[in-house]
Structure formats: structure tokens, C-alpha cells
């Protein structure tokens, strides 16, 4: 095996992902369900030691994500926008472990932690990028990038809201697996054209199931379209007249690409894992040979 | 004890409420956590027998709520609008038990089950009522009443959505007990003035908590204001220029009264238990001495 010379870590709320790296190349990949959410601050060091067992000792470690939250290993404080999209780092005292700082915004209030690393990674490949990055997910982020800086950004709870409505609300009785593009498109168009009426359309998904006028698969696609349309209505200042770089898991990113294409907006799609690693590599370069 | 001559029942998803009645007067009240949600169709008869123990046998029983759903005791089919606001009844075969039918609407799709009985009860006291009834709750209903009929109605998931967001989403970390009227008013005004932007304001409640610019009590009141404002934006055709009769639990009804007053809309408030019983009494009168 090629000898790794540093370790990249994406340490989120639920999961811990690690890559033994040689420069920008992946030597080995590991994953564990040891997210920040189940750890106390004293446990991170031991979990990291265990997860990197067999890898050379004392390689520098660069980590992003919730590991740097107040309830994480050590707090890697938010950097306020406008901020250079290159990673800002905090070292864990006494260890060759660096954590990437999150980014915050005061007005309107917003925060990101983890996405800033993906944005840095994307910009490493496209240093002249001037436009908008959309990172669809549990809390979708829209960020305006210019001259290598994150200028401002906004989060939408679309992924989490879909999960709550489809999994825990009364709508769960009427929803199946999304699989109806026409229903997605219709929900999207209605929510975008009349966002003030989108809210009142939610319960209709249950009612239409009860009176037999909508099948579960269409209902799920329609809910997805309504929520993304609602988000696009609010995020219009971000995407209108812009090229949008999508950074997200393929399935959900494809929905956003479809939704934006319907508004005449061109998108490019980048892989999140590659962007995360590229962002962490950028951070690793900033550390250099620092002890 | 005055001898009861019939039994009123409100049999919902979670709870079973029973009143031994003499005419329009309550003789005794009982409650059990034996809602439709935990029963199979074969179990309703036994549960009713147990719950009415000690009351004279073979009194006529009139029930409303989810007991009449497809998954209930027997299905009391939806009556489609426009429909007379007087209760429509289905008798359980072989028993002196009658169940009030729900009301449905085809376009846009909507359903109610239980609220139609409260509306009938309110109209028994105000037979000439011509206006709008709002029943705040888990799934708030707005209904246009004219000439003794429910003309059309719309449901909003405000109560359920508040519960999911405050109890299960990432916002739960930043929300306390609502107690800040000014924050409620501000959220309400913002959502009503710019409903397309209200969606993007949800995550801000979490971010403002993290960067320390909003306390948990204000955040909860603000969420409540945003959701009710969002609902009022969608329900505007119902309340604009109307007098609104509120039928709901005092605490949540007071929020709607406050929100509507801010739009210059006068409201009256009626008690839901009294309305339910009055609606069931109206049904009981329709049955007469039928066996």
C-alpha cells in the first residue's frame, strides 16, 4: 500500500468518515457511526485513535464538520461573512489535529459547518468561479461566491422538512416512494408561482389520498416539488440570472437541476465527497509542515 | 343523579370523551385514552360498553370523530360540499349507536371529521350565522358558512408543523416556551407581508440561537407567528372583510384572535367542548326515537 502522509476527516452529527491520503490521492477510506451527536468532548481523541488504527502514527489530521461545534471536540469558531473561501483552521491543543471553522452571517442570521469545506474544495478546481453554489441536503445552502469569498448565504430546511412531513406527519399515510416527474413539476410550478398558497396545499396531499384522487407515489413527488418550489421562490435572488453550481448527493441534486432547468437556469453538478476531500487537502496545504 | 337519556361521544384518534346527557344538559363526563388510533374495528363495541359502565343500558349513543373513519368502527362516509351543516348520520348495524359523517371537498381536495359536528353545534346557537368559522388545531380548518351550509373549506397543517419543528427538527435546540408577544407579532407580520420569504426564515431561528442573537422563548413565539402568518396569507380569501368565529382551545384560539385583530378582523370565540356537545345534541334530535 502507498504510504499515506495525512488523514482527511469529515466528522458530522451522525457519521465519521476518514480517508488516509497521500497528497490529493485517496489511499484508504473508512467510515463509522460515531458522529458528534453521540460523543462527549472527551471521547473524540479515543474515537479518532481507534478509527485510524493501522495507519502510521502522528500523521496530521484535518477535519471538518460538527466536530468543530460548541458541543464537539473543540469549538472552531464561526468566521463571519464576507470571508475567504479558503479553510480557516483551529488546532486541537497538543495534537496534530486541525479543525475547519464554520461560517456565520449576522443579518439575516445563518450558519454553515462542513459546507464551507466543500465550497473551498470546489473553488480549488475552479479558482475563478464567480456565481452561486447550491448545496442541497438536510439544510440546503445557497451561497454567493465572488473573488474567492463567500459573500452571503441562506439555508432552507427542505430536506429535514420533507423527512418530517413524509415520515412523521399525517401525510405519511398518503405518501409512497416519489416516482412521478409530472407531479413533481406541477407541485414545483404551483409553489413557485403562488408561494403564499403552497402552505395550504400540504394537507391536500392527505385529503387527495383519502378521497382517492392521488396515488402515493405522485403525492410524494408532489410534496417534493412543492417544497423545492417554495425554496426556489425564497432563494430567487440567488439563482435568478446566474449559473448555479450544485454540490450534493446525486439523487437530490438531480431534483434541483430539474427544478432550476424549468426556470431556464443552467447548472453544473459536482461530487460532494470529492469536494470535501479537495477542501480538506487545501487546508492541509495551508498547515504545511506545522507541528 | 339525574337520569341520562342519551350518550354523547367524541371519539378521536387519541382520545375517547363521553358525556351522559339529559337533553342538552351534561349529567356526567368521562374520558379514556382509547382513541381510534389504538383500536381495530372489532374493539369499538367492547370499549364503548366498558366506558359507559354504570350508565343505563341501551341509551342511544351519538358519536363524532375518527370513529367514523375507514379504519374506525364503521365508515361514516364523507358528505361532499356544499352540504347542510346539520349532522349526517350512519347507524352502526344492530346497535343504537349513530356516527356523524365527515365532510369532504373534491377541488381543491380536503376533508374534515369532527369539526363538522362543532360547526353544527355553533350554528344551533347562531342559526343565522353567515360568515367564516376558523377551527385552530393540529390541522386548522377554515370554513365558509352560508344559509346553513358548509360551502367550502381549507385545512392548514399549522399545529402539526409547529409540533414537528419545535419538537423534532434542528430548531428544537433553539426553542423554549413561547412567551414573547412582540416576537410573535414580528414573525406574523413578516410572513404575511412576504409569504414567499417565510420558508427561508425557519432555519434562521436555529442560526440566531447559535450566534446568540435570539433567546429560546422569543424564537418559539417567532416560529408560531411565522406559521400562523403563513397560514393567514394562504387563507386570506376566507377572512378578508369577514367576521370570523373561532372555535378552538383557548390558548391557540387566542393566538389566532391576536393575529386576525392585527389585520383588522374581528373575531368571536366559542368553546369547542360546548360546540361538540351542541352538535351531537342536534344529531340526537334528528334521530328522535328511532330504534
- Bond before A82 cis per omega within 30 degrees: yes
Mean pLDDT score of chain B: 95
Tell me the three cell numbers of residue A1. Answer: 500500500
Tell me the three cell numbers of residue A112. Answer: 454553515
Residue B20 has pLDDT above 80, yes or no: yes
Do A185 and A80 belong together in one domain?
Answer: no
- Interface touch A199/B108, C-beta < 8 Å: no
> How far is the first Cα of chain B from the last one, in angstroms, to the nearest whole number?
25
- Interface touch A105/B164, C-beta < 8 Å: no
Contacts of B236 in chain A (CB under 8 A): 196
Q: What's residue A291's pLDDT?
A: 53
Q: What's residue B212's pLDDT?
A: 85
- Measure the CA–CA gap between A255 and A226, rounded to whole angstroms: 12
| Candidates A108, A195, A211; nearest CB to B109 | A211
* Residue of B142, B187, B199, B219 best to disrupt the A interface, most CBs of A under 10 A: B199
Cβ(A115)–Cβ(A99) below 8 Å: no
Q: Which of B13, B87, B10, B23 is nearest to B51 (CA)?
A: B10
Q: What is the CATH classification number for the domain harbouring A219?
A: 3.30.420.310
| Candidates A154, A196, A236; nearest CB to B233 | A196
Share of chain B above pLDDT 90, in %: 91
- Interface touch B200/A169, C-beta < 8 Å: no
Residue A289 has pLDDT above 80, yes or no: no
Chain A residue with minimal CA distance to B197? A234
| Candidates B106, B139, B196; nearest CB to A233 | B196
Do A187 and A279 belong together in one domain?
Answer: no
Cβ(A148)–Cβ(A186) below 8 Å: no
- Interface touch B154/A200, C-beta < 8 Å: yes
The 10s digit of each residue's pLDDT in A178-215 is: 999 999 999 999 999 999 899 999 999 999 999 988 99
The 10s digit of each residue's pLDDT in A12-33 is: 988 999 999 999 999 999 999 9
- Measure the CA–CA gap between B121 and B145, rounded to whole angstroms: 13
Do A85 and A198 belong together in one domain?
Answer: no
Q: What's residue B167's pLDDT?
A: 95
* Residue of B104, B140, B157 best to disrupt the A interface, most CBs of A under 10 A: B157
- Measure the CA–CA gap between B178 and B223, rounded to whole angstroms: 9
User: Does the beta carbon of B186 lie under 8 angstroms from any beta carbon of chain A?
Assistant: no
- Measure the CA–CA gap between A17 and A32, rounded to whole angstroms: 7
| Candidates B109, B198, B204; nearest CB to A207 | B109
Provide the shortest C-alpha distance from residue B28 to chain A (in Å): 33
Q: What's residue A58's pLDDT?
A: 84
| Candidates A155, A156, A203; nearest CB to B156 | A203
Say if the ipTM goes beyond 0.90.
yes
Q: Phi-psi bin for A289: left (phi > 0), alpha (psi -120 to 50), beta?
A: alpha
Tell me the three cell numbers of residue A162. Answer: 420533507
Work out the pLDDT band at A2, boundaries 50, 70, 90: confident
User: Does the beta carbon of B77 lie under 8 angstroms from any beta carbon of chain A?
Assistant: no
The 10s digit of each residue's pLDDT in A246-288 is: 999 999 999 999 999 999 999 999 989 999 999 999 999 999 7
The total number of structural domains that make up chain B: 1
A222: CB partners within 8 A, 6+ apart: A180, A183, A184, A186, A187, A205, A214
Residue B290 has pLDDT above 80, yes or no: no
Q: Which of A287, A277, A290, A283 is nearest to A25 (CA)?
A: A277
Contacts of A235 in chain B (CB under 8 A): 200
Mean pLDDT score of chain A: 95
The 10s digit of each residue's pLDDT in A236-253 is: 999 999 989 999 999 999
User: Does the beta carbon of B146 lie under 8 angstroms from any beta carbon of chain A?
Assistant: no
Do A282 and A238 belong together in one domain?
Answer: no
Read off the DSSP letter of residue B168. T
| Secondary structure in 3-state letters for chain A | CCCCCEEEEEECCCCEEEEEEECCEEEEEEEECCCHHHCCHHHHHHHHHHHCCCCCCCCCEEEECHHHCCCCCCCCCCEECCEECCCCEEECCCCCEEEECCEEECCCCEEECCHHHHHHHHHHHCCCCCEEEEECCCCEEEEEEECCEEEEEEEECHHHHHHHHHHHCHHHHHCCCCCCHHHHHHHHHHHHHCHHHHHHHHHHHHHHHHCCCCCHHHHHHHHHHHHHHHHHHHCHHHHCCCCEEEECCHHHHHHHHHHHHCCCCCEEEECHHHHHHHHHHHHHHHHCCCC
Do A40 and A117 belong together in one domain?
Answer: yes
Task: Look at residue B284 and tell me if it is in a domain.
Answer: no
Task: Look at residue B73 and tell me if it is in a domain.
Answer: yes
* Residue of B72, B207, B222 best to disrupt the A interface, most CBs of A under 10 A: B207
Q: Which of A224, A161, A233 is nearest to A195 (CA)?
A: A233
User: Angle B110-B116-B118 (CA atoms, 0-180°, nearest 5)?
Assistant: 135
Q: What is the CATH classification number for the domain harbouring A81?
A: 3.30.420.300
Task: Look at residue B165 and tell me if it is in a domain.
Answer: no
Task: Look at residue B103 and tell me if it is in a domain.
Answer: yes
The 10s digit of each residue's pLDDT in B81-139 is: 999 999 999 999 999 999 999 999 999 999 999 999 999 999 999 999 999 999 999 99
Report the SS3 class of residue B41: helix
Chain B residue with minimal CA distance to A110? B207
Task: Look at residue A148 and tell me if it is in a domain.
Answer: no
Do A48 and A92 belong together in one domain?
Answer: yes
| Candidates B154, B204, B214; nearest CB to A110 | B204
Domain range for A215 is 156-270
- Interface touch A195/B200, C-beta < 8 Å: no
- Interface touch A234/B105, C-beta < 8 Å: no
Cβ(A227)–Cβ(A264) below 8 Å: no
Report the SS3 class of residue B99: strand
Q: What's residue B57's pLDDT?
A: 84
Q: What's residue A212's pLDDT?
A: 85
Task: Look at residue A147 and tell me if it is in a domain.
Answer: no
Residue B169 has pLDDT above 90, yes or no: yes
Q: What's residue B193's pLDDT?
A: 94
Work out the pLDDT band at B62, boundaries 50, 70, 90: very high
Tell me the three cell numbers of residue B146. Answer: 352560508
Helix (H) or strand (E) holding B259: helix B250-261
Contacts of B219 in chain A (CB under 8 A): none
Provide the shortest C-alpha distance from residue B187 to chain A (in Å): 14
Chain A residue with minimal CA distance to B77? A211
- Measure the CA–CA gap between A126 and A115, rounded to whole angstroms: 16
Contacts of A169 in chain B (CB under 8 A): 157, 160-161, 164
Share of chain B above pLDDT 70, in %: 99
Q: What's residue B2's pLDDT?
A: 83
Work out the pLDDT band at A49, boundaries 50, 70, 90: very high
User: Does the beta carbon of B90 lie under 8 angstroms from any beta carbon of chain A?
Assistant: no
The 10s digit of each residue's pLDDT in B197-246 is: 999 999 999 999 999 889 999 999 999 999 999 999 999 999 999 989 99
Task: Look at residue A242 and tell me if it is in a domain.
Answer: yes
Do A106 and A56 belong together in one domain?
Answer: yes
The 10s digit of each residue's pLDDT in A158-174 is: 999 999 999 999 999 99
User: Angle B197-B201-B202 (CA atoms, 0-180°, nearest 5)?
Assistant: 130
- Measure the CA–CA gap between B276 and B145, rounded to whole angstroms: 17
Work out the pLDDT band at B61, boundaries 50, 70, 90: very high
Q: What's residue B1's pLDDT?
A: 61
Tell me the three cell numbers of residue B288. Answer: 328522535
Q: What's residue A213's pLDDT?
A: 84
Q: What's residue A1's pLDDT?
A: 61
**Dihedral angle at the C-alpha atoms of B217, A234, B155, B72, nearest 10 degrees?**
-80
- Interface touch A207/B104, C-beta < 8 Å: yes
Task: Look at residue A173 and tell me if it is in a domain.
Answer: yes
Provide the shortest C-alpha distance from residue B66 to chain A (in Å): 13
Residue B291 has pLDDT above 60, yes or no: no
Q: What's residue A288's pLDDT?
A: 77
Amino acid at each position: 500500500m502507498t504510504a499515506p502522509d495525512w488523514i482527511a476527516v469529515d466528522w458530522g452529527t451522525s457519521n465519521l468518515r476518514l480517508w488516509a491520503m497521500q497528497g490529493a490521492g485517496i489511499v484508504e477510506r473508512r467510515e463509522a457511526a460515531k458522529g458528534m451527536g453521540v460523543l462527549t468532548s472527551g471521547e473524540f481523541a479515543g474515537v479518532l485513535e481507534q478509527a485510524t488504527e493501522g495507519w502510521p502514527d502522528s500523521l496530521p489530521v484535518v477535519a471538518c464538520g460538527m466536530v468543530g461545534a460548541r458541543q464537539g471536540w473543540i469549538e472552531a469558531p464561526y468566521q463571519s461573512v464576507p470571508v475567504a473561501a479558503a479553510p480557516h483552521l483551529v488546532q486541537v491543543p497538543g495534537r496534530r489535529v486541525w479543525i475547519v471553522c464554520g461560517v456565520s452571517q449576522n443579518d439575516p442570521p445563518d450558519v454553515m459547518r462542513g459546507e464551507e469545506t466543500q465550497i473551498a474544495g470546489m473553488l480549488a478546481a475552479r479558482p475563478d468561479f464567480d456565481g452561486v453554489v447550491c448545496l442541497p441536503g438536510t439544510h440546503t445552502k445557497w451561497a454567493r461566491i465572488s473573488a474567492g469569498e463567500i459573500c452571503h448565504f441562506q439555508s432552507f430546511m427542505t430536506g429535514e422538512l420533507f423527512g418530517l412531513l413524509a415520515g412523521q406527519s399525517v401525510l405519511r399515510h398518503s405518501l409512497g416512494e416519489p416516482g412521478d416527474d409530472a407531479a413533481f413539476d406541477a407541485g414545483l410550478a404551483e409553489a413557485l408561482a403562488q408561494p403564499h398558497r403552497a402552505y395550504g396545499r400540504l394537507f391536500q396531499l392527505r385529503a387527495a389520498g383519502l378521497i382517492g384522487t392521488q396515488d402515493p407515489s405522485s403525492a410524494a413527488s408532489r410534496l417534493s416539488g412543492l417544497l423545492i418550489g417554495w425554496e426556489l421562490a425564497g432563494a430567487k435572488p440567488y439563482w435568478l440570472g446566474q449559473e448555479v453550481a450544485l454540490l450534493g448527493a446525486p439523487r437530490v441534486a438531480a431534483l434541483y437541476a430539474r427544478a432550476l432547468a424549468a426556470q431556464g437556469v443552467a447548472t453544473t453538478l459536482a461530487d460532494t465527497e470529492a469536494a470535501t476531500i479537495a477542501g480538506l487537502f487545501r487546508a492541509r496545504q495551508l498547515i504545511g509542515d506545522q507541528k
